[in-house]
Structures are given as structure tokens and as C-alpha cells.
């Protein structure tokens, strides 16, 4: 939900930011007030009563300045289409994480993805990262002044006693807030804000509670704005199991992926990503590929927080790009998720045999799935590798090998990425892993691009995707000379996220393929910016 941008009023203001009194003589001062202020508070439709009041009426407004307010039955806005919304009631919810998170989610839905949200009296440095992550763009320094009156210095870790004078302390509190905002802006640009949020929320219990609630109850709201573009991500603890991009991966594996092969092989994860580049997995794959008919084996890696990663998807984001803390034992939340995933896996595939090549500390998987255990000591010990080879030789008798498995792999990729049957898009494959190209009826439809962590569409693939009714962006009738801007988008399929390959449709005909620069929600509700980067026209 967080973004960097510019607010243009009496003067330009970088976002996210905090309003600063001019008398403090801080270079970046941008003031709020009435006459003469950079942001004129009287422009906003007025809210006269607190949240607890029973006499709050409907608030009406028009133009660029709007108000978000709370009534007992939920969040309201004064009118649609404002450039900036004032949210004075949010401060009243700050120690009730359940109500606060719900209010922020609904506020952003009503205001739309482009509008600026200004939340007064919420400028504490250690609050800024989480509130920005929730969609607040503009803060003010009321809590900085209150803290200074009490002799408290504020920074990203909370508050501290100080002997400075009120004015000196207030300046230091503002400087602390500005430093934190600089970090937040850089983190947004580098897509690392979530890492900063997870560090800051530990400074106050309600912050931590709010983030956990957002993940558990509203991950689908935040996932819409989470790109599928690869980035390196850090998962420090078991609570990351509910992060939006993790939940998306887990849900898509369950709903879009289909096992291929009648022998299931469960394997452990590795520190190196993708797993197949690790020393452990190279040894395991050498054993697997030494046995005739190995192409009929469905490999699945059991890991946290992604829980279940089919070998075919190990290079997709986030599976190929994460670093997780290894503690040598499993948390109950991870164990429960793994058991649930394995129960689902049994229903997804018709496996005649299951081989479990997992460490002994993962014996809990037997509660969910029965199979032949092959590990003795470490997973790469001589005895363990011998046991694995013997188990494979005992159950494999077919002729399926590398060629068949490559076809299964790119079909599984197409299923996961586009939510359609892999055979619809690919019936043959060429290339060497991981540089695979998929074909349908002799025409190339897709290719795997490792640095993208996904597959790319050709023009023929775009036609097939259009016919399937997935990942389409519908544009108005104009000559296409380059990238597609949001103003030209008439409709877009709801599953589109930033970074997705999409097909551009005009007059019910596919005319081009490209890369989505924003989610379908943002394409449809925004007036500015690029919606799709054009890759290739379809002739």
C-alpha cells in the first residue's frame, strides 16, 4: 500500500512526509494551518465530533479536499474523487488494533489507490513505517510536540528521557521523524519496506498486534498491491507464514498447480536458492536422475514459510528469492500448515508410492501422509543416499525421463502463472533447463526467463491467454504507439498484479502482450501513470 510520490498544493511535497512548523526553522518545513499555511486545514469538510459521539451526521464535500470519518457502522468519506483526504478519527483507534486495521483497509478502498491520506496527530517515528505500509501518506508533529513537553526524545525504537529544552527536543524529534521517513522512502523504492516494518513493530505491542492482524485477516487486501516481480526477501520468524506474497504463493500452489507423476518425493529445503543449486539438492538430484523412469517422480520441497514448493516452481518468486531463519526446530504454526498442505497434496494427486527424504526432526509429517522414510542421520549421508536410490529403483519402472519432466515443468509454470491448464498453452518443449521454451501446435507460446522469476508470453501465447479469459487488459479505441496508460484502460481481469505478463485487448481482439506496471485495481481506479509496458504487438 505504501508508495512514494509528490503532492502539489501551494508548493510541492515529497511523500510520504510530515508537516513541520515554520518557526522551528527546519529546512524541509511544510506547514498545516489556515491562512498562509502550505496545507489549509479549513479546505477539508469539517468533522466536529469525536468517534464516540452519537450525533455525527453525514459529511458532504466536493473538489480536491475530502474527509474520511468514522460512524459506528464503519468508515465513510465525504465524497469520491478528492486528491487528498483528511482522516482525523484514526488517532482514536490507535490502541485498538482490530478497529484500526479495519478502518485503514476500508479507508484506502474508499479513497482509491491514488488519493493522499493525511492522518493528523500520528507522527511518532516508530509508528511511521507501519502506518505508511497501511496506506497513510502524510503525518503531522502533534505527538512530537506532546512528547517534547514531557521531556521525551522519540526515535524509531520508541521514546527516551531527555534533559533538553522543549524547543531543542522538539527539533530533535522532528529530525528523528524525517530520518525515519528518508529510510521509509528508500525502503519503498527498493521494495524492502516490509523488512523495516517488521523491525519497528516490536517497539510497541499494539504495533506488532496490528501487523499480525493485517496479515491474518486482510492479507488478500494487501496482496493485490504486492508485485510478482522478483526481489530478495527475508523471513525472520514463523509469523511470516501469513505475509501477503507468501499466502499468494501457497494459495496458487493449492488452486492452480497440478502434480505430475505417480511417485511423490518429499525433500527438505536448503539455504541456497533456488534449491537445485545447493550442494544438498545436487546430490539428491544426482541420485534421482540415475534411476530409469525418474521423470515420473513429483518432487516437492517442504519449507517455511512457503510450506510446499513443487520442484517446477522453485525459481518462481518468492520461492527462488527468500532467506529464512533456521532454528533447528519447527514452530507449531509451521507444523500445522505443513500437515494441512500434505493433506491437500494427497487429494491433488494419485500417488501409488510416497518417499519421504526429510530430516528426522520432521517426523510430524507422518501424521498427515504415510510413506517410505529413507533418511539415516543427515539427508546426504552415504546411507541416506543409498536408501533413496534403493527406494526409487524399487518403485520406478517406466521410461519417463528428462524430456518428459521438462514438459511437465513448463506446463506447471503456465498453470501457476496464468491459472489455466498447462496443456492449453504448451504441448512440447525445447531448450535446456532452466532456459525452456514452450510450444503449442508448433508455435512458441512461452519461455522461462530466470531473472524475471516467471515465464514470458509470445504473441501466440497472448492469443491463447485471451481465449482462456485470463490476464486481459481491455483498452479503448486508439492507435497503440507505446506503453498503455491507465487513462486508456476500460477494464482488466481481477487477477492481474504488478509484474504479470498480460494480453492487451482492443475491440474484443488481442492486439499486444506486455508487463503490468500495476494491479488491475490500480489500473481501473487511477487517472495517471503507466498501466502496461508494451512488449510485442500481435499481428
Cell numbers 507460446 label which residue?
445
342 and 373, same domain (yes or no): yes
419 within some domain: no
Of the residues 395, 414, 444, which one is the last residue of a structural domain?
395
405 within some domain: no
Which uninterrupted H or E stretch holds 431?
Answer: strand 428-432
Q: Find how far residue 201's CA is from the centre of its chain.
A: 18
* Section 458-465 average pLDDT: 96
273: domain range? 233-395
Q: What is the pLDDT of residue 506?
A: 96
Q: Is residue 133 predicted with pLDDT exceeding 70?
A: yes
376 and 305, same domain (yes or no): yes
Q: What is the pLDDT of residue 352?
A: 94
383 and 442, same domain (yes or no): no
* Section 156-174 average pLDDT: 95
Task: Give the chain's mean pLDDT.
Answer: 93
226 within some domain: no
For residue 520, which of 506, 499, 538 has the smallest C-alpha distance? 499
401 within some domain: no
For residue 280, which of 357, 187, 353 has the smallest C-alpha distance? 357
Looking only at the bridges linking them, the beta strands covering 435-440 and 428-432 are: antiparallel
Q: Is residue 58 predicted with pLDDT exceeding 70?
A: yes
Measured between alpha carbons, how far is 415 from 454 in angstroms, rounded to an integer? Answer: 11
Q: What is the pLDDT of residue 517?
A: 96
409 within some domain: no
Angle between helices 244-256 and 205-223 (to 10 degrees): 40
- Whether the bond between 16 and the residue before it is cis, its omega within 30 degrees of 0, is yes
* Section 383-410 average pLDDT: 94
Measured between alpha carbons, how far is 238 from 283 in angstroms, rounded to an integer? Answer: 28
Report percent pLDDT > 90 for the chain: 83
* Section 300-312 average pLDDT: 96
67 within some domain: yes
187 and 209, same domain (yes or no): yes
Q: What is the pLDDT of residue 503?
A: 97
Q: Cβ–Cβ contacts within 10 Å for residue 113, how many?
A: 21
Measured between alpha carbons, how far is 383 from 396 in angstroms, rounded to an integer? Answer: 20
What are phi and psi for residue 443, nearest 5 degrees?
A: -110, 135
Q: What is the pLDDT of residue 238?
A: 83
Measured between alpha carbons, how far is 508 from 445 in angstroms, rounded to an integer? Answer: 20
For residue 475, list its beta bridge partners.
Answer: 489
- In the chain, DSSP finds a helix count (H) and a strand count (E) of 14, 29
470 within some domain: yes
Contact between 379 and 357 under an 8 Å Cβ cutoff? The reply is yes
Write a three-state SS string for 163-212.
Answer: CCCHHHHHHHHHHHHHHHHHHHHHHHHCCCHHHHHHHHHHHCHHHHHHHH
199 and 86, same domain (yes or no): yes
Q: What is the pLDDT of residue 12?
A: 83
Q: Is residue 223 predicted with pLDDT exceeding 70?
A: yes
Distance spanning both ends of the chain, measured CA to CA: 37
323 within some domain: yes
Q: Is residue 407 predicted with pLDDT exceeding 70?
A: yes
Kindly report, residue by residue over 239-253, the tens digit of the pLDDT: 899 999 999 999 999
* Section 208-228 average pLDDT: 96
282 and 165, same domain (yes or no): no
* Section 138-155 average pLDDT: 95
In the chain, the number of structural domains is 3
Sort 165 into a burial class: Cβ within 10 Å, 0-12 / 13-18 / 19+. Answer: exposed
Measured between alpha carbons, how far is 40 from 220 in angstroms, rounded to an integer? Answer: 36
Q: Is residue 54 predicted with pLDDT exceeding 70?
A: no
Q: Is residue 154 predicted with pLDDT exceeding 90?
A: yes
283 and 238, same domain (yes or no): yes
Kindly report, residue by residue over 270-296, the tens digit of the pLDDT: 999 999 999 999 999 999 999 999 999
For residue 470, which of 431, 427, 437, 422 has the smallest C-alpha distance? 422
Distances (CA, A) of 28 to 21, 120, 142, 165, 203: 10, 18, 17, 22, 27
Q: 3-state class of 114 per DSSP?
A: coil
Q: What is the pLDDT of residue 52?
A: 67
For residue 76, list its beta bridge partners.
Answer: 69
Percent helix / strand / coil, the chain, rounded to 5: 40, 25, 35
Measured between alpha carbons, how far is 408 from 238 in angstroms, rounded to an integer? Answer: 32
Contact between 351 and 262 under an 8 Å Cβ cutoff? The reply is yes
212 and 244, same domain (yes or no): no
* Section 49-69 average pLDDT: 83
Q: What is the pLDDT of residue 277?
A: 95
142 and 206, same domain (yes or no): yes
261 and 179, same domain (yes or no): no
The CATH number of the domain holding residue 385 is 3.40.50.10630
* Section 187-211 average pLDDT: 95
Of the residues 190, 220, 250, which one is the last residue of a structural domain?
220
Look up residue 378 and give its DSSP letter.
Answer: B
Of the residues 347, 371, 395, which one is the last residue of a structural domain?
395
Contact between 315 and 282 under an 8 Å Cβ cutoff? The reply is no
Report percent pLDDT > 70 for the chain: 98
Q: Is residue 95 predicted with pLDDT exceeding 70?
A: yes
Q: What is the pLDDT of residue 33?
A: 74
For residue 235, which of 224, 217, 247 has the smallest C-alpha distance? 247
178 and 110, same domain (yes or no): yes
Q: What is the pLDDT of residue 120?
A: 93
* Backbone φ/ψ region at 374: left (φ over 0), alpha (ψ -120 to 50), beta: alpha
The CATH number of the domain holding residue 86 is 3.20.20.105
Kindly report, residue by residue over 18-27, the tens digit of the pLDDT: 988 777 777 6
Q: Is residue 83 predicted with pLDDT exceeding 80?
A: yes
* Section 54-58 average pLDDT: 74
Q: Is residue 183 predicted with pLDDT exceeding 80?
A: yes
Q: Is residue 236 predicted with pLDDT exceeding 90?
A: no
Q: Binning pLDDT at 50, 70 and 90, where does residue 30 land?
A: confident
Measured between alpha carbons, how far is 312 from 310 in angstroms, rounded to an integer? Answer: 5
Contact between 325 and 357 under an 8 Å Cβ cutoff? The reply is no
Look up residue 78 and give its DSSP letter.
Answer: S
CA atoms within a 13 Å half-sphere pointing along the CA-CB vector of 208: 8
241 and 388, same domain (yes or no): yes
The CATH number of the domain holding residue 491 is 2.30.130.10
Kindly report, residue by residue over 427-461, the tens digit of the pLDDT: 999 998 888 999 999 999 999 998 888 999 999 99
What are phi and psi for residue 152, nearest 5 degrees?
A: -115, 130
Amino acid at each position: 500500500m505504501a508508495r512514494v510520490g509528490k503532492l502539489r498544493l501551494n508548493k510541492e511535497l515529497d511523500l510520504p512526509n510530515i508537516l513541520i512548523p515554520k518557526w522551528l526553522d527546519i529546512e524541509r518545513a511544510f506547514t498545516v494551518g489556515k491562512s498562509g499555511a502550505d496545507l489549509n486545514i479549513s479546505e477539508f469538510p469539517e468533522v466536529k465530533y469525536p468517534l464516540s459521539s452519537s450525533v455525527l451526521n453525514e459529511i458532504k464535500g466536493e473538489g480536491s479536499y475530502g474527509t474520511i470519518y468514522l460512524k459506528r457502522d464503519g468508515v465513510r468519506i465525504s465524497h469520491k474523487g478528492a486528491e487528498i483526504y483528511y482522516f482525523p478519527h484514526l488517532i482514536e483507534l490507535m490502541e485498538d488494533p482490530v478497529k484500526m486495521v479495519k478502518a485503514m483497509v476500508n479507508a484506502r478502498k474508499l479513497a482509491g489507490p491514488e488519493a493522499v491520506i493525511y492522518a493528523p496527530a500520528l507522527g511518532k517515528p516508530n509508528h511511521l513505517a507501519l502506518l505508511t505500509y497501511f496506506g497513510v501518506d502524510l503525518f503531522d508533529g502533534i505527538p512530537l510536540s506532546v512528547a517534547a513537553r514531557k521531556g521525551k526524545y522519540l526515535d524509531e525504537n520508541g521514546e527516551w528521557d531527555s534533559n533538553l529544552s522543549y524547543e531543542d527536543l522538539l527539533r530533535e524529534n522532528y529530525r528523528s521523524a524525517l530520518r525515519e521517513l528518508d529510510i521509509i522512502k528508500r525502503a519503498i523504492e527498493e521494495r524492502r519496506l516490509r523488512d523495516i516494518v517488521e523491525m519497528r513493530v516490536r517497539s510497541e505491542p499494539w504495533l506488532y498486534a496490528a501487523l499480525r492482524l493485517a496479515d491474518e485477516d486482510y492479507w488478500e487486501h494487501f496482496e493485490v498491491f504486492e508485485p510478482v516481480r522478483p526481489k530478495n526477501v527475508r523471513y525472520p520468524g514463523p509469523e511470516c507464514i501469513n505475509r501477503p506474497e507468501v499466502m499468494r504463493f501457497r494459495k496458487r500452489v493449492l488452486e492452480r498447480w497440478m502434480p505430475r507423476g505417480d511417485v511423490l518425493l518429499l525433500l527438505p529445503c536448503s539455504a541456497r536458492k533456488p534449491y537445485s543449486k545447493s550442494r544438498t539438492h545436487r546430490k539428491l538430484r544426482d541420485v534421482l536422475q540415475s534411476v530409469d523412469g525418474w521423470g515420473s517422480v513429483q518432487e516437492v520441497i517442504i519449507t517455511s514459510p512457503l510450506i510446499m514448493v513443487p520442484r517446477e516452481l522453485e525459481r518462481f518468486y518468492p520461492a527462488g528469492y527468500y532467506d529464512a531463519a533456521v532454528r533447528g526446530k519447527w514452530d507449531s504454526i509451521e507444523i500445522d500448515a505443513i500437515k494441512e498442505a500434505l493433506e491437500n497434496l494427497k487429494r491433488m494427486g494419485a500417488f501409488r508410492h510416497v518417499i519421504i527424504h526429510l530430516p528426522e526432526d520432521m517426523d510430524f509429517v507422518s501424521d498427515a501422509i504415510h510413506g517410505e522414510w529413507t533418511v539415516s542421520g543427515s539427508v546426504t549421508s552415504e546411507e541416506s543416499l543409498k536408501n533413496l536410490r534403493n527406494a526409487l529403483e524399487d518403485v520406478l519402472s517406466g521410461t519417463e525421463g528428462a524430456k518428459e519432466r521438462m514438459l511437465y515443468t513448463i506446463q506447471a509454470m503456465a498453470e501457476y502463472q496464468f491459472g489455466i491448464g498447462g496443456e492449453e498453452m504448451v504441448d512440447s518443449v525445447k531448450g535446456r533447463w532452466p532456459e525452456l521454451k514452450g510450444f503449442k501446435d508448433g508455435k512458441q507460446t512461452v519461455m522461462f526467463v530466470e531473472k524475471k522469476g516467471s515465464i514470458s508470453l509470445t504473441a501466440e501465447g497472448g492469443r491463447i491467454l485471451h481465449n482462456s479469459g485470463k490476464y486481459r487488459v481491455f483498452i479503448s479505441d486508439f492507435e497503440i504507439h507505446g506503453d498503455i496508460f491507465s487513462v486508456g484502460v476500460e477494464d482488466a481481469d481481477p487477477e492481474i498484479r504488478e509484474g504479470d505478463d498480460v494480453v492487451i485487448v482492443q475491440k474484443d481482439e488481442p492486439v499486444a502482450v506486455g508487463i503490468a506496471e500495476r494491479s488491475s485495481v490500480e489500473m481501473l481506479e487511477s487517472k495517471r501513470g503507466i498501466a502496461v509496458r508494451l512488449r510485442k504487438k500481435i499481428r
